[in-house]
Structure 1
C-alpha cells in the first residue's frame, strides 16, 4: 500500500489496482496484512476499536466473523492517515468521512501537535461513576474464552472491581493481551507491565489526591484533567524509555 504523504488519498486509492480481489470479502487478518504495508504499527485491536467507533462497518457472517470489503480497507487507511499525518481526533475524522460519503471535497487540516497518547486507547481514567462491563459483556467484546479470562485473572492482569463488574478498560486490556499472545508473550510475561502501570498510577494519585480533597470546587474538578495529563506524560516517558532501550540493543 503506497504511502500518501498528504493524507488525502481519494476514495479507493488504498486498494487500487488489486483486480478481482477488490470484490472478495476479507477477514480481519487479511485486512491487517494489507494495512501493515503502510501502517506497520496497526493491530487487530486498533481495527476493532475503529469499528466500535463506527468508522468502518464490515458485514458479519451468520457465525459472527467480520468480512471487510475493499471500501472498508480504504476507509481504515484514510482514518489511519489522518491520525498519523494530521493528529486528528476521531470525531473530526468521522465528520470528514461523512462529508466524503456525501461527495463533498474534504480540505486537509494544517499542521498539528501530536495527540494525547491515551486518546482512543480504551476509555477515560476510571472514576467512581465510570462505566462498568459485566463478565459476559467483557468476553463478547474482547472475543476471548472463559478459560483465557480466568488465566489472566490468576496473573492479576484483569479483575472485577469492588462494586461489581469490570472497569471499561478491561475490554482493551483483554484485546491487547490477546494480540501480544500471538507473538508468544504469555500472561506471566506481562505481570511486570501491569506492576509498572500500578506504580505509575500510584505516582499520579499522589499528585491529584490533594486536589480532589480541596475545598474549591473548581480545583476538585481540575483533578481528573490533571490525572489524565500526568498519565499521558507517564505513557510517553515509558514509550521513550522502551524506544531508547531497543535502540541501544540494536546498536
Structure 2
C-alpha cells in the first residue's frame, strides 16, 4: 500500500510552489467538495499521491488561469470521467479520440488470407478439435467445406476459436448464435456491396468488415464490463 501523507507533509510538498497554501485552505477545498481525503480511525486526514496532484491542479488553475472554484470543480469532474478539460471557463469538456482497438485487425489484413486447403483430419489436427466437436461444427454451419470436401484458412480460424471456447465449456451447439449473427452481418454488407463495382469494391469490403468486427468487439466488451 502506498504511503499516505498527513496534512503537514502535504503542505511541505507544495508550499514551495504555492507559498500561500495553508491547512485552512486545504480544509476549505475539502468542504467545497474538491478534495476527498481519507481519514484514519482517529479522524486525521491522510492524502494520497493522487490527492497531491489534484490539489496542485486546483491551486495552479486558481493562480495561473484565475478560474473560480465552480469552473475548477467542473474541470475536475470532466477529468475524473476520462474527458479532457474545457479550454476556457464555461466551455464543454472534450471527449478524447479513441485509441485504435488492438483486438480489431486492420482492413487490409482481413482480405489477405493465405492460400490453404486442408482435409478434415488435417484441420482437426491443426486446431485441436476432437472428432465429435468437429462434426458438430459442420452440422451447425460453422465449418463449411468446399465441394471437394476441403477446408480453407477461414475454417482454421473458426476451428481454433471454437476449440478455445470448448476449453471453457462452450459446445458447438452454443456457437450457433455466432453463425446466425454472422449471416445477418454478411447480409448487410452484401446489400452495400451490391451497389459497388470495380476496384473500390475491395476497399469497401475491407472497411465494412473491419467496422463490423469493431462494433461486435465493442458491444461484447461493453456488455461484459457493465
Using structure 1 for the length normalisation, give the TM-score: 0.44
Q: Which has the larger radius of gyration?
A: 2
